Amino acid sequence: MHPYLSVEGIARRYGSRTVFRDLWFGVERGEFVVLIGHSGCGKTTILNILAGLEAPDDGALVMDGHEISGPSLDRAVIFQSHALYPWLTARDNVGFALRSKHPKWSKAEINDRAQTALELVGLKDAASQKPSELSGGMKQRVGIARALSLEPAMLLMDEPFSALDALTRGTLQDEVVGLVGGGKQTAFMITHDVDEAILLADKIILMTNGPDARIAEIVVNSMPRPRDRASLHREPGYYELRNHIVDFLVTRSRLLAGTRPDGWNGRNVPLVMPTATIKTLESLTP
């Protein structure tokens, strides 16, 4: 049985430089997948390919039985920068996206749905404000509201909190946990933040360093849900999981760059289970 989203052997090259190749992984419906890797391994390019904004040089992507060949309102993107129209209010920024999906809706219907989306992210009283009147965290909330208002089949996030201060970032992480975590929304996210990945993800994809990057491991996050950022570190296996990912980023991502594990065939990668003893299993990628 194929996963909801199947990434099948994709590669991306710029001239003679191969950024990544032979990427195989799946995302199940309702699953939250996070990708981690150093700059230069092609993380944002991968997200752009999932969004249909770029095309892979090799391979294919299949979502819900249909090949991804371009952008679609079924896949909403939250960018690293808020990407808001500065001349529109928060409500109208959300409404602009809604009109793209529901061109026959009345202005009142658009405004009502936009207002509801803003209330979900705590911006009920900021709907009439323009981006210049909002803080950085509030702008990102508008971007999240805009994406969620479309009720996308899949939510794609490119380091959406990296430019925010620690307090605001933590608050928005908690909101994302409540809004899309725990099987409520299929999501794919890029981050450099290990703790953020452990808080949000069901699976964590670890990329080797670029160029010629590959998937080295797919880590299954067994931390129980619901997850609380303040107490997650007390869960059994937390530090084992965190240390494993940090060790990969510090050491193994560099040592594995440009190599292939024994028996590599472009499909199978180690699958790491963060249990009392970390075990290496064969990936279930078809």
**Range name among 31-40, 122-131, 170-179, 189-198 with the lowest pLDDT average:** 170-179
| Together in a domain, 28 and 147 | no
Number of domains forming the structure of the chain? 2
Please check whether residues 126 and 159 belong to one and the same domain. no
Q: Is the dihedral of CA 133, 134, 140, 141 positive or negative?
A: negative
Whether 277 shows a pLDDT value over 60: the answer reads no
| Domain final position from 107, 136, 151 | 151
pLDDT of residue 45 exceeding 80: yes
Residue 64 lies inside a defined structural domain of this protein: yes
User: What domain range is 91 assigned to?
Assistant: 84-151
- Number of neighbouring beta carbons within 10 Å of residue 280: 10
3-state secondary structure of 190: strand
Give the pLDDT confidence score for residue 260 in this predicted structure.
57
Same domain, 186 and 55: yes
Rounded Cα gap, residues 93 and 143, in angstroms = 8
pLDDT tens sequence across 218-228: 999 989 888 88
Same domain, 26 and 165: yes
Q: Are residues 223 and 144 in the same domain?
A: no
SS3 of 243, please? Answer: helix
pLDDT band at 23 (very low <50, low <70, confident <90, very high): very high
Does residue 79 sit within a domain?
Answer: no
pTM equals 0.87
Q: Are residues 41 and 165 in the same domain?
A: yes
